[in-house]
Amino acid sequence: MHYDKVVDEASVKKKPEMIQYFSNTKGGVDIMDQMVHNYTCKHQIRRWPMVLWYNLLDVATLNAYTIFMVLHPSFMGGVNNTRLSNSL
């Protein structure tokens, strides 16, 4: 996406645009990690395929939850939802 070394002259530290783009968009992973942390299926295990599998399950569950909440916005209307409140 960013192949040239364009520097943003308007910024104070004169950082390249690709660094600023990364800094502005990296928050999504942090929010996902915070939301998955509440309801994780991970266990302490040394086998890397199982660690990968548990992470895949956590991300798939969060994606399914997000799609469900978009399709059914009135679900649990007045109840404070811990997954939703952590992302705000």
3-class secondary structure for 32-86? Answer: HHHHHHHCCCCCCCCCHHHHHHHHHHHHHHHHHHHHHHHHCCCCCCCCCCHHHHH
Q: Is the pLDDT of residue 36 over 80?
A: yes
Where are the domains positioned within the chain? 17-87
Q: Is the pLDDT of residue 88 over 50?
A: no
CA proximity to 86, closest of 37, 29, 19, 23: 37
- Better pLDDT: 18 or 67: 67
Q: Is the pLDDT of residue 53 over 90?
A: yes
